[in-house]
Amino acid sequence: MTLVFSKGRKVLVASLRLGVWVVSMFMIAISGWVFAFVNSKGKQYRFSFIAPLIMLIFQLVIYVFDKRDSALNEFNIKVFLSFLVSLVIIVLYFIIKKKLRVDE
């Protein structure tokens, strides 16, 4: 059993083993996306690995800081953030690529 602070009071987590398992699964998934991102250096599709990586880190932070019941964990916010992050990454990728072509 472990103690977690939630809204100013201490609450018990059902099982330390379950919490460690979930965090470990997130870390394995994040390390896989980081590995794919690093190995795709110089490839055109490299930017596509950033959005799932950011969303996994976002979900891990929500779980670790016990914000699962907050508004940050609602479906609408997640979809909006996922769409926004993906859109920003794609736009930045093409802007940087265009600037590199102009410099050559």
Residues 12, 1 contacting (CB under 8 angstroms): yes
Structure tokens at 86: 């993906």
Is the pLDDT at 101 greater than 70, yes or no? yes
Mean pLDDT of the chain: 79
* Residue 4 tokens, joined: 């977690």
**DSSP category for residue 69:** T
End-to-end CA distance of the chain: 60
Closest to 29 measured CA to CA, from 54, 4, 8: 54
Mean of pLDDT values over 39-64: 85
CB 62 within 8 A of CB 73: yes
- Cα angle 56-59-65, degrees, rounded to a multiple of 5: 135
Helix runs in the chain, H state only: 16-39, 50-64, 75-103
Domain total in the chain: 1
Would the pTM count as exceeding 0.75?
no
How far apart (Å, rounded) are the C-alpha atoms in residues 29 and 37? 12
User: What average pLDDT score do residues 82-92 get?
Assistant: 84
Mean pLDDT, range 24-49, rounded to an integer = 90
In terms of residue numbers, what domain contains 57? 3-103
